[in-house]
Amino acid sequence: MERIMSIGITDNRVIAREQHNQNNLIHGSICSPTVGLLRLRLAMTLLNRFILTTFVLLNVLFLACGFGGGQKPTDEKDENLNLPLQDGTVWTYICTHEDSADSFVLVKVIDGLRQFPHDDSTTMNVWYPEEELWLFQAVGDSSILDDSTAVKDSSFYLDDGDYIWMGETEGLLTWLGMDPFFCFRVLKIDSDIGDSIYTLIERSSAYAKVNVSFTSIFTEREDVFTFAGDFNDCVRIEGELIKTAVTNSNPPDTLMGTTVNFILWFADGIGLVKREEFNIISDSITVDSIMTYSEELTDYDI
C-alpha cells in the first residue's frame, strides 16, 4: 500500500512538472532559452523590415518635394539681381512732383566712370568705391546730357559686384561748404527677402555737422505695371532717408531735419522701373502718407 501511494505521489509530481514546462513553453519563460531566442530573432526581423520600409518612404517623400538633387521647383526664383551697367544705357521716366501740377520726363544715362576720392570731412560706416559708374539725369531731352547742363543728383554703380548704390545731392551742403553729393547702399545683389542694409554718412565743417542715414529692406518680389510694359518678380525695396544738420554753436541750431520714405522696384536685367517717395504724417489718432515724388519707366535702351 505504501509503495502504491509512493508511486501515486511520484506520478503526480511528474505530471505537475510536465504541466509547468508546458506553461513555460507557451509563455516564453526564461526557463525556455530556445523559445526566447526564436522570439528575439523574430522581433529583430520585424524591426529591420520596419526600418527599411521607413527609409524607402522617406526617400520617396524627399524626392517628391524636389530635394536630393532633383530639379528646382518652377515657382522658386533665384534672389540674385542682374542690372545693366553698360556705358550708354538709357532709361526714360514720367515723373510727378508735389511742387508741380504737371508731370515731366526724366532721362537717365550711364556715362562712363568718374573718380570720387573720399574727402577728409566725411566719415561713413562703409565706404563707397572711389571709381563709380556715373548716372547723368536731366529733364526732357537726353541730347542735353553733358557736364554743364545735366543734373547730377544720382549715381548708380556696384561696390565690388556686391551692392547697388544710389546717390543724391543736397543743396544745403554746398551752402555749408561741403560736398553736396552723398550715396547710400540700396540692395545687396545676393540678398534674400527680409534682409536690411544701413548706411550712415557724417560730414562736418567749421560751421556745422551733417548726418545722412539710409535704411533699406528687401520686403518682397512683386509684379509691376508701367508705361514701358509689365515686369514680373520685381525686387521691392522700402527705405527711409533721414537728413539732419546742426550748427557747431552752443546750443546748436537746427538747419535741416527731414525724413523721406522710399519704395523702389528693380526688374532683373532692366534696372529701376518705378520709384515713389512720400512723407509720413502722423498724429495721436491717425498715420497718413503723402506722395511727394514718383518715377515710372516709359522707355529704355539697354
CA distance 280 to 290: 7
The answer to whether residues 108 and 51 belong to one domain is no
**Other beta carbons less than 10 A from residue 139's beta carbon:** 12
The answer to whether residues 232 and 114 belong to one domain is yes
pTM of the entire predicted model? 0.68
Residue 79 lies in a domain: no
Q: Rounded to the nearest 5°, which phi and psi values hold at 122?
A: -115, 140
Q: How confident is the model at residue 245 (pLDDT cuts 50, 70, 90)?
A: very high
Structural domain tally of the chain? 2
The answer to whether residues 55 and 116 belong to one domain is no
The answer to whether residues 52 and 94 belong to one domain is no
Which H helix or E strand runs over 17? helix 2-27
User: Is the pLDDT confidence value at 276 over 70?
Assistant: yes
The predicted structure's pLDDT at residue 102: 80
The predicted structure's pLDDT at residue 187: 86
| Strand ranges (E), 207-286 | 208-226, 229-247, 254-267, 271-282
Q: How confident is the model at residue 58 (pLDDT cuts 50, 70, 90)?
A: low
Determine what percent of the chain is predicted with pLDDT higher than 90.
Answer: 30
CA distance 293 to 69: 47
Domain span at residue 184?
90-301
The predicted structure's pLDDT at residue 120: 80
DSSP 3-state of 142: helix
At which of 25, 49, 64 does a domain end? Answer: 64
Residue 71 lies in a domain: no
At which of 46, 64, 82 does a domain end? Answer: 64
The answer to whether residues 112 and 202 belong to one domain is yes
User: Is the pLDDT confidence value at 241 over 70?
Assistant: yes
The answer to whether residues 193 and 267 belong to one domain is yes
The answer to whether residues 94 and 235 belong to one domain is yes
User: Is the pLDDT confidence value at 247 over 70?
Assistant: yes
